[in-house]
Structure 1
C-alpha cells in the first residue's frame, strides 16, 4: 500500500474526503490580524462580494513566494468584475516590512494582504496540507472550491469557470 506517496491512491481518497466534507462549510477568517499594504480599508469593502479567494502562503519558504506571482498573474489575466471576487492572502513571514518591500519592488505585488505570523488561518480551519490552503468562498464564507490552483491547472480552470460564469 502507498502510505508515503501523497500523490498515490491514499492521498487521492483523503483529498476527496476532505473536499467533500469541506464543501459548503463555513471558513473562519481571522479578523484580529493586521492587513498590510494596498488599500487600508480593503477588508471592509469586500463584505458584499459574491466570492472570495482566500489563500495562505508561507513566505518563509522561498518556493512558496512564487504563489503570489501566480496570483498576481491570475488577478491580472482573469476578467473578473471588480465587486464580484475579492482576494485575501494570509501570509506568514518573519519580517512583514521587508517582505512587503521585497514583493512590491521585486515582483510588483502591491495587493493588500494579512500578516499571519502564527498560522491562525490554517489552524482555525485545519488546512495543514499546502494543496488545500486555498479556498473559493461564497458571500457567506462557505466553501465552493477547496484546493490550490497554483499546484493544479485543472483547479485553476475550475476557479475561472465559477468566477466567470
Structure 2
C-alpha cells in the first residue's frame, strides 16, 4: 500500500510539473503576442511630446537647441527613470552612443521622469564631470510623456524610439543595450 501511495505521489508531482511548464510557455506566448501587437500598433504613429517638458542643461558642452532638434531628419527619444541610481548611471552608455550618432547629426533626447524632484539626477551630474554629455535632457515633472505615450509602459524594450522629422516612430528598442538595435538605427540613418 505504501508503494502504491509513493507511486501515486510521484505521478501527481510529475503531472503538476507538466501543467506548470505548459502554463509558463502559454504565458510566454501571450507576452510575445502582446509585444508584437504593441509594436504593430505603434510603428508609424506619432510620438507625442507634452508642452510641460523643461530643459535641464548642466553641461557647458550642451550644443543643440530646440530648432536643431525640430529640424533633424531623425531623433532618438528615450525615457529615463531619474530616481533610479542604475538608470542614471546608464546614461554613461548614452554618452558613448551620442559620440557615434553625432556623425549622422542625430540628436538623442533623454526624457527624465522622477519621484524625487530630479534630486538624484542633478546631484550626480553636478558632482561629476565624468557624466558630461552633449545630449538633451528634458525633465518631465508631471509624468505627462508616459501618459501620452502609454506603449512605453508595456516593456523596457519600448522606452526608446527612433522617429523621423515628424516624430513618427520608425524603430523601437534601446541601442545602448543591443548592438543589433544600434545597427538597425545606423542603417536607418544611412538611408538618407
Deviation track 1:102-156 (CA, whole Å, cap 9, x = no partner) reads 2351532333311112322111110213221111000000000012233433212
Q: How does 1:15-34 map to 2 (within 5 A)?
A: 15-34=35-54
Q: Does 1:114 align with 2:123?
A: no
Higher relative contact order (CA 8 A, sep 6+): 1
Deviation track 1:27-63 (CA, whole Å, cap 9, x = no partner) reads 1012222101054972232111000100000021122
Q: Does 1:67 align with 2:87?
A: no
Distance 1:3 1:125, change over 3 A: farther
Cα deviation for residue 72 of structure 1 reads: 0.7
Cα deviation for residue 69 of structure 1 reads: 1.4
Structure 2 distance, partners of 1:163, 1:101, is 34
Computed over aligned residues only, the root mean square deviation of the Cα atoms, in angstroms, reads 2.5
Q: How does 1:1-165 map to 2 (within 5 A)?
A: 1-2=23-24, 8-37=28-57, 38=59, 39=62, 42-78=65-101, 80-82=103-105, 85-93=106-114, 94-96=116-118, 99-103=121-125, 105=128, 107-110=130-133, 111-126=135-150, 127-128=152-153, 129-165=155-191
Q: Which runs of 5+ in 1 are unaligned?
A: none
Equivalent pairs counted in the alignment come to 161
TM-score if structure 1 supplies the norm length?
Answer: 0.83
1 or 2, which has the higher helix percentage?
2
Structure 1 distance, partners of 2:86, 2:25, is 25
Structure 2 distance, partners of 1:33, 1:103, is 19
Q: Which runs of 5+ in 2 are unaligned?
A: 1-22
Distance 1:10 1:141, change over 3 A: same
From the CA coordinates, give the structure whose radius of gyration is larger.
2
TM-score if structure 2 supplies the norm length?
Answer: 0.72
Cα deviation for residue 3 of structure 1 reads: 7.6
2:7 paired residue number: none
Structure 2 distance, partners of 1:156, 1:4, is 31
